Amino acid sequence: MLTTDRGADALLPVYAQFPVRPVSASGSWIVDEAGERWLDAYGGHAVASTGHCHPHVVRAIAEQAGRLLFYSTMLSHPHRERLASRLVERSPAPLDKVFLCNTGAEANENAMLLARKRTGRSAIVAVEGGWHGRSVACQAVTDGAKYEQTARLAGMPVARRIPFDDLAALDAIDETVAAFLVEPVQGMGGARACSPAFLRAARARCDAVGAALLFDEVQCGVGRCGAFTAAELYGVVPDALSLAKGLGSGFPVAAVLVGPMLSEGITIGDLGSTFGGGPLACAAALATLDVMDAEGLCGNAARIGARLAEGARALGVRRVEGHGLLLGLRLGRPAKAVQQRLLERRVLTGTATDPEILRLLPPLTFTEAEADLVLDALKEALA
């Protein structure tokens, strides 16, 4: 048989990429094919929660892979049960049930499904600047003409969208609405944090009209904002909360945490996922939680985030959005050019849908010295 190595040509060209080809990584540092080290203030899109290749996580995955790589949810597994109870322990009451799946979109999709099933309503209200994933149901609630068009083509009703943090606009949540879906701190939107008053009012409004409140914490959860969930940080508890990204330190695993409003009456066959809650994914997530506890990573995210925010302000950055290690630096100029200059200094950062925002989402293990290296590079990039 004739074989050809078509390399990158064989991939659908759907991703804009930087010219860095990583071959290994450790902690906050990536090593490329030429042996050069790159400081990762992007965290592989907020995924590298415990840093790259944390030895405890790597060991847990390797050991589990050698023992039982996979069996589906047709059989119970102690890791799955342990992970569910450890997630419930970390979540504000009354979130006391867990559905395990694989990606952020899958988690949000299931949260919306539960809300629609419970209320018998179909409409979802979402927020301008919100980003919820690539499945059709998630694109229907994500802000952006391109996503809206995909949803319409698929015959999916598009969300009613309200302005960011606008309390008066919450009136759009009425008796026809199944759920209000909101990122407490928007990720792609530029690390924009909702005000506590907005989320409290959203809770009250949902209660008044019988709609579910859904928090998409796919990016802002798992300790990123300085508490395990942003719900805890805000003191507002939704009816369901989606986690993904950092939960498995790089191994795909996601969870929907569910409160009684949405768990009541749920029975066998209502939700499902072949790979969701597989033993390897659960081992990765359990080891991630071990590291988060042992190394105090929620506190570290808050501490290092404050250092980065303060340092950025001292460099003249107009405004710093976000919490913990989900930060958006409002530069007052195109962020892409600054991101490029940081890349020339071998520092990886992110941008956002807001073109003036440079997004920082480093591993939650980021050190003071690493934060200072980012600030030094930023000073040069801004000069």
The residues binding ligand PLP (CB under 6 A) are 103-105, 108, 131-133, 183, 187-188, 216, 218-219, 244
The phi-psi region of residue 220 (left if phi > 0; otherwise alpha if psi is between -120 and 50; otherwise beta) is: alpha
Residue closer to ligand PLP (CB basis): 108 or 339: 108
Residue closer to ligand PLP (CB basis): 95 or 373: 95
Phi, psi of 127 (to 5 degrees): -115, 145
Q: Are 300 and 366 in contact (CB under 8 A)?
A: yes
Shortest spacing between CB 42 and ligand PLP, in angstroms? 12
Token readout for 12 is 């659908």
CA distance 17 to 378: 21
Residue closer to ligand PLP (CB basis): 311 or 322: 322
CA distance 68 to 208: 47
The phi-psi region of residue 5 (left if phi > 0; otherwise alpha if psi is between -120 and 50; otherwise beta) is: beta
Residue closer to ligand PLP (CB basis): 49 or 381: 49
Shortest spacing between CB 345 and ligand PLP, in angstroms? 25
Residue closer to ligand PLP (CB basis): 184 or 311: 184
Q: Please give the residue whose beta carbon sits closest to ligand PLP in the complex.
A: 104
Shortest spacing between CB 267 and ligand PLP, in angstroms? 26
Q: 3-state DSSP call for residue 206?
A: helix
Shortest spacing between CB 242 and ligand PLP, in angstroms? 7
Map tokens 């892409």 to a residue: 336
Residue closer to ligand PLP (CB basis): 121 or 132: 132
Residue closer to ligand PLP (CB basis): 133 or 363: 133
- CB neighbour class for 169 (10 Å; exposed up to 12, middle 13-18, buried from 19): middle
In angstroms, the Cα distances linking 359 to 20, 173, 188, 327 are: 19, 31, 9, 6
Shortest spacing between CB 131 and ligand PLP, in angstroms? 5
Shortest spacing between CB 257 and ligand PLP, in angstroms? 15
Shortest spacing between CB 332 and ligand PLP, in angstroms? 25
Q: Are 124 and 111 in contact (CB under 8 A)?
A: no
Token readout for 49 is 């929660």
